[in-house]
Structure 1
């Protein structure tokens, strides 16, 4: 095994863990809009950006768990799988902020646009790090067991 590849894996796992923490914390630092929409019946409901970022929290928590778990993976198949899971969760996180899934407010000046941009950048960095890890998954030391 190339020691540089092993070190790169750990660095990227640390980066993914840190980005996941930043993503999770960022949703509370840059909260989405807090406005309500008046319904025809006279009631009020939260805007769709509220539900978007409610859906983003479990994605960020799963990203944190998977990326932190990468420190303990030694088998190439498990490393590859964890990278694919991170890429999939990152893509899902980006999709949630688009109108194809839930979306955000239509007004450009709303706070949810800042939060969505922040999340999309972090998800993009996570996808990039996991993509590099996907190609480095085979560079692990294989232990021979002796009995």
Structure 2
């Protein structure tokens, strides 16, 4: 069994997932943050669809952090969980583009702030997940058991 402190992947996934949640909440703005709301037929006000896109993105970011925690607790399954992180990164990219798209007007705050940031964070997450599946046996010092890395 490997030492938990020698593997960088679980910590990277926890930081990426937590960073995605915090960045989408504090740095990447949506129309609701700028005060834009949709008026319903009943006269009430509700957030625009980019608000729900942000919430879905935060949920997938929390999932990536949870996968990182599982990878820390179960170090023998890190390579498989890395593929799950890559899949979650693809989901992060698809949320503001296709699944829960941002506003249709290109000049809105969500298209200028949230959407590019979500695409960037999703791309980094995909790359980190794919990089986590690669074996780095050359980096394992001699004398250490050669378990599946």
Range of TM-score over shorter length: 0.7 to 0.9
TM-score in terms of structure 2 length = 0.75
Please state if 1:28 is matched with 2:25: yes
Q: Any residues of structure 2 matched to 1:10-21 within 5 Å, and which?
A: 10-21=7-18
What residue in structure 1 maps to residue 118 of structure 2? 119
Distance of aligned partners of 1:132 and 1:122 in 2 relative to their CA distance in 1, 3 Å threshold: same
Q: Distance in 1 between matches of 2:74 and 2:136?
A: 10
Q: Distance in 2 between matches of 1:66 and 1:137?
A: 21
Secondary structure, aligned partner of 1:97:
helix
Q: Distance in 2 between matches of 1:28 and 1:45?
A: 18
Runs of 5+ in structure 1 lacking a partner? none
Q: How many residues align?
A: 135
Distance of aligned partners of 1:38 and 1:137 in 2 relative to their CA distance in 1, 3 Å threshold: farther
Distance of aligned partners of 1:115 and 1:74 in 2 relative to their CA distance in 1, 3 Å threshold: same
Which whole-Å deviations, capped at 9, do the CAs of 1:8-28 have from their partners, x for residues lacking one? xx2333222222121110111
Secondary structure, aligned partner of 1:15:
helix
TM-score in terms of structure 1 length = 0.76
Please state if 1:142 is matched with 2:141: no
> What's the C-alpha RMSD, in Å, of the aligned pairs?
2.9
- With CA pairs under 8 Å and 6+ residues apart, which has the higher RCO, 1 or 2? 1
